[in-house]
A = this chain, B = another copy of it.
């Protein structure tokens, strides 16, 4: 009985969502889409994001793969918008993770330690 765990579904999901949020381009896209409650064309985004078209497309693909956005074909454009259902799920998941915290604060002294220097 080694005691080694497998990670729970929850832990793995949090890591997966966080990974999708771990690049400025993707954060920017999500922020824009979620704030404006509307959709965006890839062409609009490439105007304002300092990255090439094909790179942007890959980031959109990752967000889509993560389930956080969805694309609607509207020829000759493709409109992207937040996937509300999954966005709400992600929100709840991270919210719970961040807020289930005992807010008492004791016994942790600022280290000044050399560890991990």
Contacts and interface: CB of A to CB of B under 8 A. Distances in A.
Interface string A26-69: 11101100111111000000011110000001001100110000
Given A18-B18, A27-B11, A31-B97, A107 B38 contact: yes
Q: How many copies does the complex hold?
A: 2
Contacts of A104: 37
Interface core residue of A83, A97, A106 (most chain B CB under 10 Å): A97
B108 A82 contact: yes
Given A5-B49, A49-B4, A102-B36, A113 B27 contact: no
Interface of A: 2-7, 11-12, 14-15, 18-19, 21-28, 30-31, 34-39, 47-50, 57, 60-61, 64-65, 70-73, 78, 81-84, 87, 90-91, 94-95, 97-111, 113, 115-116
